[in-house]
Structure 1
Amino acid sequence: MRTVLITGANKGLGFETAKQLAQAGNFVYLGSRDIINGQSAAGKLKAAGITNVAAIHIDVTDINSIRKAKAELENSVGALDLLINNAGISGEQPQYIAEYSMEAIRALFETNYFGAVQTTQVMLPLLRKSSAPSIINVSSEIGSLTMQTSAERPPNWSNFSTYGATKTALNGFTVMLANELRGEHITVNSVTPGYTATDLNQFKGFKTVEEGAKAIVQLAMLEDRSITGRFFKDGGEIPW
């Protein structure tokens, strides 16, 4: 049984991903910024007969919170097989970079980029103790520079420009980290769930959480250890 940590897992895509991975036989820690919400989410799964889950307090913007979560995992399981950096915020729209406040820009990067980076850095010692460690960064097609420069780019994407920039940065982190850790056989990949209806977008997405989680779960269950430094969606790869 693999041990999985998912940040931002008390609701939305994180919760659904936790549910599906637990149903597939993994032990899943539901990371939550608010431990009460995390315990409630874990309780819902246990009430449904999914007992191989537990809540863990982790705020990806708080380094001390991350370190405490790492210590808790070290004491309880010793090693971590899969880290899914899912926690994220969307910010208020429209968010044109030409005029969006620097305070708002920094807040988005603090969670969506720096949060994932520092969580990964702290958890790496536990991942190195696994026989088959992996890191998945939950990104977005809005972070794809190829799609942003395509003639088919949806015009409303400008409403999410700053959010998209955080995901472009996250994709860069995926590639750089994959290259750094290749010799240690730690796989690192990005994945986009697509436009999924969650509170991140006021439930305006056209995918259900079950559909959105599919790409994350597929990547999480991938057994080919040669696949690293790539960007996936449901059904295949997506250009950077």
Structure 2
Amino acid sequence: MNREQDRTALVTGANRGIGLETARRLVVAGLDVVLAARDPARGRDAARTLGSPRVRVEELDVTDAMSVTACAERLADDGVAVDVLVNNAGIYPTDGFFSLDEDTLLRALDVNLMGAFRTCRAFCPGMARRGYGRVVNVSSGLGALTGNVPSPAAYGVSKAALNALTLVVSAAVPQAVKVNAVCPGWVRTDMGGRGAPTSVEQGADTVAWLALLPDSGPTGGFFRDRKRIDW
């Protein structure tokens, strides 16, 4: 039996784009998948495209701590243990620094940083207790301190903070729980636009690879195209 047949993955922002393609790949790999979306109707529509009985739709707004807690409680009540967490939900404000208002920056931090913080707080303790876990934070090269943090301002700051959170969480859990960040590239999604050079399938490849790492796999790293990159 494939080991993955006993695993469950939860993917946030999974009703479209990289999240949906990642969910598709994890189902093909043999995992049960919790397709999490702010809008459950859109989540159900997306789940139908996967055509698998192994997909469960859950309402989850990563900006609402009560929503995250309620989702975790519903899953626990049904005996569902989350083994793989893909923090994919995100927003992409494009304001330059001098046109950036405080509300926009706080919104970016709430979704891109605090959303992952809330889900890690909800699901990583169980991974640590069970001695197995994979956490994938979907970040960006625009959050790399050695790269292009200055632009766009709120997005770059929030993704740099997400990278820092990746290191913090990886140090807090046992080695058996692998926590990594990924830069999927500039992807042709609603966020990336039609002119982006990378397909959704290519963008989701490293995300799914990190979600399925073997026990010997890396932790506390930042990856693009399955290769470690600088923070």
The answer to whether 1:7 aligns with 2:12 is yes
The answer to whether 1:84 aligns with 2:86 is yes
Quote the offset at 1:77 in angstroms.
Answer: 3.2
Quote the offset at 1:228 in angstroms.
Answer: 1.0
Question: Superposition pairs for residues 31-50 of structure 1, below 5 Å?
Answer: 31-46=36-51, 50=52
Tell me, yes or no, if the aligned pair for 1:6 and 1:28 is still in contact at 8 Å.
Answer: yes
Structure 2 partner of 1:18: 23
The answer to whether 1:201 aligns with 2:192 is yes
Structure 2 partner of 1:28: 33
For residues 11-43 of structure 1, what are the alpha-carbon distances to aligned partners after superposition, in whole Å with 9 as ceiling and x for unaligned? 110000000110111111100001111111111
The answer to whether 1:161 aligns with 2:153 is yes
Structure 1 partner of 2:64: 62
**Stretches of structure 2 lacking an aligned partner (at least 5 in a row):** none
Which deviates the most, 8-17 or 229-238?
229-238
Tell me, yes or no, if the aligned pair for 2:188 and 2:199 is still in contact at 8 Å.
Answer: yes
Which deviates the most, 98-107 or 190-199?
98-107
Tell me, yes or no, if the aligned pair for 2:148 and 2:156 is still in contact at 8 Å.
Answer: no
**Stretches of structure 1 lacking an aligned partner (at least 5 in a row):** 150-156
Distance 1:129 1:32 in 2: 27
Quote the offset at 1:225 in angstroms.
Answer: 4.1
Letter in 2 for 1:198: T
Quote the offset at 1:45 in angstroms.
Answer: 1.0
Question: Superposition pairs for residues 135-214 of structure 1, below 5 Å?
Answer: 135-148=135-148, 158=151, 160-182=152-174, 185-214=176-205
Structure 2 partner of 1:103: 103
Distance 2:69 2:226 in 1: 36
Distance 2:96 2:20 in 1: 30
For residues 141-177 of structure 1, what are the alpha-carbon distances to aligned partners after superposition, in whole Å with 9 as ceiling and x for unaligned? 111111238xxxxxxx73x222011100000000111
Structure 1 partner of 2:73: 71
Tell me, yes or no, if the aligned pair for 1:79 and 1:130 is still in contact at 8 Å.
Answer: no
Secondary structure in 2 matching 1:148: coil
Aligned residues: 226
TM-score scaled to structure 1, two decimals? 0.89
Letter in 2 for 1:61: T
Structure 1 partner of 2:132: 132
Quote the offset at 1:6 in angstroms.
Answer: 0.4
Distance 1:122 1:220 in 2: 18
Q: Check 1:182–1:128 CA distance in 2 against 1; reply closer, same or farther (3 A cut).
A: closer
Tell me, yes or no, if the aligned pair for 1:198 and 1:204 is still in contact at 8 Å.
Answer: no
Tell me, yes or no, if the aligned pair for 2:9 and 2:86 is still in contact at 8 Å.
Answer: yes
Secondary structure in 1 matching 2:173: helix
Quote the offset at 1:181 in angstroms.
Answer: 1.4
Q: Check 1:182–1:97 CA distance in 2 against 1; reply closer, same or farther (3 A cut).
A: farther
Secondary structure in 1 matching 2:188: coil
Distance 2:128 2:74 in 1: 17
Letter in 2 for 1:194: G
